[in-house]
Amino acid sequence: MQTKEFFVAENLGKRLDCFLAEETDLTRSHIKKLCDDGFVKVNGSNSKGNKTLKSGDQVVLMLPDVKISDVKPENIPIDIVYQDNDLAVINKQQGLTVHAGNGTDSTTLVNALLFHLDSLSGINGVIRPGIVHRIDKNTSGLLVVAKNDNAHLALSKQLEDKTCNRVYVALLEGVLKQDKGTISTFIARNQKDRTKMAVSDFGREAITDYRIIKRYKNYTLCEFSLKTGRTHQIRVHAKHIGHPIVGDHEYGFKNQKFKLKGQLLHAYKLEFIHPTSGEKKSFTVDIPDYFKDILKKIQ
203 occurs within a structural domain? yes
Is residue 80 located within the same domain as residue 145?
A: yes
% pLDDT > 70, the chain = 92
286 occurs within a structural domain? no
Cross-strand partners of 140: 266
User: What predicted TM-score, i.e. pTM, was given to this entire model?
Assistant: 0.79
User: Which CATH number is 32's domain given?
Assistant: 3.10.290.10
pLDDT average, residue stretch 274-298: 97
User: What is the predicted pLDDT for the residue at 1?
Assistant: 64
279 occurs within a structural domain? no
Strands 58-63 and 45-46: unpaired
Q: Summarize pLDDT for 203-232 with one digit per residue, the tens.
A: 889 999 999 999 999 999 999 999 998 999
Is residue 153 located within the same domain as residue 231?
A: no
Is residue 144 located within the same domain as residue 101?
A: yes
Domain boundary among 44, 63, 82: 63
Is residue 143 located within the same domain as residue 227?
A: no
- Give the active site residues: 136
Domain boundary among 126, 161, 196: 161
Is residue 142 located within the same domain as residue 198?
A: no
Please tell me the total count of domains within the chain: 3
272 occurs within a structural domain? no
Domain boundary among 29, 63, 97: 63
pLDDT band with cut points at 50, 70 and 90 for residue 14:
confident
Q: Summarize pLDDT for 120-167 with one digit per residue, the tens.
A: 887 666 667 888 999 999 999 999 999 998 999 899 899 888 899 999
Q: Are 203 and 236 in contact (CB under 8 A)?
A: no
Mean of the per-residue pLDDT values for the chain? Answer: 90
Q: Summarize pLDDT for 48-106 with one digit per residue, the tens.
A: 989 998 888 899 998 765 444 467 899 999 999 999 999 999 999 999 999 876 555 67
